Copies of this chain bind each other. A is one copy, B any other.
Amino acid sequence: MNNFSFYNPTKIIFGEGQIASIAKEIPVEARVMLAYGGGSIKNNGVYDQVIDALGERIVCEFSGIEANPEFDTLCRAADAVNEHRITFILAVGGGSVIDGVKFIAAAAQYNGDRWDILTKGGKVIQSAVPFGSVLTLPATGSEMNSGSVVTRSAMKAKLPFGSPHVYPQFSVLDPVTTYSLPIRQVINGVIDPFTHVMEQYLTYPVGAHLQDRLAEAILKTLIELGPETLAQPKNYEVRANVMWCATMALNGLIGSGVPQDWSTHMIGHELTALYGLDHAQTLAVVLPANLRVRKADKLPKLVQYAERVWGITEGSDEERAEAAITRTEEFFRNLGAGTRIEDYDLSADVIDVIIKQLESHGMVKLGEHRDVTPEVSRKILETALR
């Protein structure tokens, strides 16, 4: 087990009817920015519940945060925070809105060029406006971590940042708010956390027995309940477990003390920035190919994954590993996600473009061994083509 620090001060308030409890979490004298996306929260009752809970507080709304939150939009919001002397931001939505609010909260108090926050890795952040979230689209885990990803379309860039100053103070998770999600978002909400776990689990053994078993616990729960959450949109028990899996997949716990990969995410970000695929769609495309290309390197963990998660105990190590990768890809496909580049009406000529963007963003030494060079990324994309 590697040395680690684990710190996560976000308060999770989980369950049906819990939106009302934000009344106790936000100071009564707060000047609140209510930040959200395209307005689906006005159709599913969430907006009304939030407004009720905010009561007499001064509320300024900022809507229109994009599915991949845009730097320019977020800068406008940060300006509005300062203009209206906002003291608390409430993000209502999915990972994009919460990621966006993390940037807004930091940018509002940052005196330099706000682009620094993304290009210098969040280390420049000294403070942020306090904020909380009401999660309506479980997938990214943003509701209980200090990371964020922001897009700048004009530069075809989608870049991450993180800072201990941008943990949500609280996040409300009411599974009922997910009942009305479009099916594509529900699929994404299984694949995204599944891949988050894999990025932290499927590397090489460091004797972290407990972390491995915790990761396997999340994977097995997603495998068991992923198809159910699609088939039964209003099954509270199923939705609740999938929602909590998504949070646990990326709150720092299972990644403590173990090597981490994240190359699937970095390659996937370029696919989104260039061609507009959903984040989880890019993961469904890149993860199986990534595991295939780097199978030899990841063999011991692939064999463990095969046995403990998929119950595969026959064949050579290499065969078990291959079988586990196949099962993973089938799991994604059976959920309804395309797992090949061509499934998204793209062809081989995108590969050069993606590689060029990875290079221009400095993503040239990815993975747990920093050996996923542009050449390896190219092999992964070629393997993912059809």
Instruction: Say yes or no: B208 contacts A241, CB within 8 Å.
Output: yes
Q: At the interface, yes or no: A209 with Cβ under 8 Å from chain B? A: yes
Q: In the complex, are the beta carbons of A241 and B207 less than 8 A apart?
A: yes
Alpha-carbon gap, A208 to B225, bound state (A): 12
Closest to A225 in B: B209
The answer on a CB contact under 8 Å between B5 and A13 is: yes
For residue A154, which residues in chain B have a CB less than 8 angstroms away from its CB?
none
Contact B220 A1 (CB under 8 A): no
Sampled A-B contacts (26; CB under 8 Å): A1-B237, A2-B15, A3-B17, A3-B18, A5-B13, A5-B14, A7-B9, A7-B10, A7-B12, A8-B9, A9-B9, A14-B257, A207-B237, A207-B241, A209-B221, A209-B237, A210-B244, A210-B245, A210-B248, A213-B218, A213-B221, A214-B217, A214-B248, A217-B217, A240-B257, A253-B253
The residue on B at minimum CB distance from A257 is B14
Question: Does A224 touch B at the CB level, under 8 Å?
Answer: yes
Chain copies in complex: 2
Chain A residues 130 to 145 lying within 8 A of chain B, measured CB to CB, are none
Residues 231-255 of A, flagged 1 when their CB comes within 8 A of B and 0 if not, give 0000001001100110010000100
Cα A373 to Cα B56 in complex, Å, equals 48
Give the B-binding residues of A (Cβ under 8 A).
Answer: 1-18, 207-211, 213-214, 216-218, 220-221, 224-225, 237, 240-241, 244-245, 248, 253, 256-257
Q: In the complex, what residues of B have CB within 8 A of residue A3's CB?
A: 14-18
Report how far A12 CA is from B220 CA in the complex, Å.
27
> How far apart sit A8 and B7, CA to CA, in the bound complex (Å)?
9
Given B10, B16, B213, B240, which contacts A217 in the complex, CB threshold below 8 Å? Answer: B213
Residues of B within 8 A of A221 (CB): 209-210, 213
Chain B residues whose C-beta falls within 8 Å of the C-beta of A208 in the assembled complex: 241
Residue of B nearest to A208 (CB): B241
Within 8 Å by CB of A11, from B5, B18, B220, lies: B5
